[in-house]
Structure 1
Amino acid sequence: MPLGWFAPGQNDRVPQGTAFMILIGNAGPEMFRRFSRERTPALATLDAWTKATVDVLAEDLSATAIYPFDTPPAPFLTWARAANAGHTSPLGLNIHPTYGLWHAYRAALLFPVAFDLPRLSAGAHPCESCLEKPCLSSCPVGAFDGTGYDYKTCGRHVLSEAGQDCMTGGCLARLACPVGRGYAYAPAQMQFHMRAFAEARKKDT
């Protein structure tokens, strides 16, 4: 689904010839359900399935697709700010005014012509009016302090016996956020992402 769009300026670090960008991704659990139905040995990873799916869409729309997993990585969160597609949360994740922390950018569609679409409004930053900030106090190992993320401590915890609640139920800090709870991922999706995170963190332990 489209999560934001904008006409890039000279400082937005987009590929040459881009007159308009639409950020697309998932919001809520539906994308993962489709991925689970359609995954095959050739499309076993979420990145491979995303590319195969979005490449078809891009061709149909005469657009060019780029992805967060491309090398070198593209500045998707910077583009989200340019598109007014949300705010930076104390966890460092983008917080959307509707979907909260339960969304992710999966691709950007680049067009050589601009579209006359109304500019999005990010609205008020929901974290500024959240006095208790449960996201910062819910992590069992205090990996978040509002200014940074201690991913190594987080990874060691998730890989330990004490971290099984996070591994099986999802990040407790993310789950504590009250914004967009109706779009929270289903347990299977949370476990999928936590396993991927844990696998990546094994090198840190």
Structure 2
Amino acid sequence: MTLDGLQAQCSALNLDILGAFHPELEDLAPETCGTLVLLGPKEPGFWNTFTNSPEWQDKSPDPMDRWSTRVINTLSQQTGATALFPFGGPPYQPFFRWALASGHAWQSPVSLLVHAQAGLMVSYRGALAFRERLELPPAPSKPCDTCTDQPCLTACPSHALTGAGYDVPKCHAFLDTEAGREHLTNGCNVRRACPLSQSYGRVEEQSAYHMSIFHKGATA
């Protein structure tokens, strides 16, 4: 197995490799894991693939998680890897830690993860743990280091998400206002402000879906 070969299999499913690394003991990966590969939506095109899936069409709860489970479990069977997911807990797998360890994601100026290609739109749908130590490409440089404007710091209209941290209740309160409705439809203004996010290719319908799940969880 090579990462290029795995990428071809992932691309056919509208998944992308968002980073990979050789775990150390402190990374809390499975004991037999030689390489951990992080997977997320491949853009553009992911939303169209997902909304044509049986998980979306059957109108049952948690379609994204169910789609991820089916597709990544199938991929794990094809490759001999172990499938891991950021949902289904507690306990939860340490995906934030794994993202940082991959060298393809970092803590942004507003604390959210920022990815080398996906920017602040990064989303991890699962991971594959391989016994083998696969050959890895060089890690990219952190994009925030050369982002002189850093628009994420001033993009939040409610000032709930800034360099000082994330005031989640304040964010939800703003989304309940007339002015906040636009952000439920278009997605988080901070995530959209990131230059990398703007070139990533996520459609507004997908951002609206994630925002609805996020906000519904606070008001349920």
Which of the numbers 171, 175, 188 marks the counterpart of 1:171?
Answer: 188
Contact kept in structure 2, 1:90 and 1:147, CA below 8 Å: no
CA change 1:107–1:74 in 2 (3 A) is: same
Separation of aligned partners in 1, 2:29 and 2:136: 21
Tell me which residue corresponds to 2:157: 140
Tell me which residue corresponds to 1:197: 214
Separation of aligned partners in 2, 1:46 and 1:126: 28
Q: Shift of residue 180 of structure 1?
A: 4.2
Q: What is the TM-score when the length of structure 1 is the normalising length?
A: 0.89
Equivalent runs, 1:53-92 vs 2, <5 Å: 53-71=71-89, 72-92=91-111
Equivalent runs, 1:17-56 vs 2, <5 Å: 17-38=32-53, 39-41=56-58, 45-56=63-74
AA aligned opposite 2:213: A
Q: What is the TM-score when the length of structure 2 is the normalising length?
A: 0.84
| Alignment gaps of 5+ in structure 2 | 1-15
Contact kept in structure 2, 1:87 and 1:122, CA below 8 Å: no
1:168-199 deviation per Cα after TM superposition (whole angstroms, max 9, x unaligned): 11111111112242214211111111111110
Q: Shift of residue 53 of structure 1?
A: 1.0
Contact kept in structure 2, 1:83 and 1:120, CA below 8 Å: no
AA aligned opposite 1:169: N
* Number of positions where the alignment pairs a residue of Structure 1 with one of Structure 2: 201
Q: Which contiguous aligned blocks of 4+ residues in structure 1 show a shift greater than 4 angstroms?
A: none
Separation of aligned partners in 2, 1:161 and 1:180: 25
Q: Find out whether 1:13 has 2:28 as its counterpart.
A: yes
Contact kept in structure 2, 1:86 and 1:122, CA below 8 Å: no
Q: Shift of residue 88 of structure 1?
A: 1.2
1:103-153 deviation per Cα after TM superposition (whole angstroms, max 9, x unaligned): 3111110112222x1343131x22233333221212111012214211111
CA change 1:28–1:92 in 2 (3 A) is: farther
Which of the numbers 144, 152, 172 marks the counterpart of 1:155?
Answer: 172
Contact kept in structure 2, 1:28 and 1:103, CA below 8 Å: no
Identity %: 32
Q: Tell me, what secondary structure is at the counterpart of 1:104?
A: coil
CA change 1:40–1:21 in 2 (3 A) is: same
Contact kept in structure 2, 1:85 and 1:120, CA below 8 Å: no
CA root-mean-square deviation: 1.8
Separation of aligned partners in 2, 1:105 and 1:84: 15
Contact kept in structure 1, 2:191 and 2:197, CA below 8 Å: no
Separation of aligned partners in 2, 1:37 and 1:99: 23
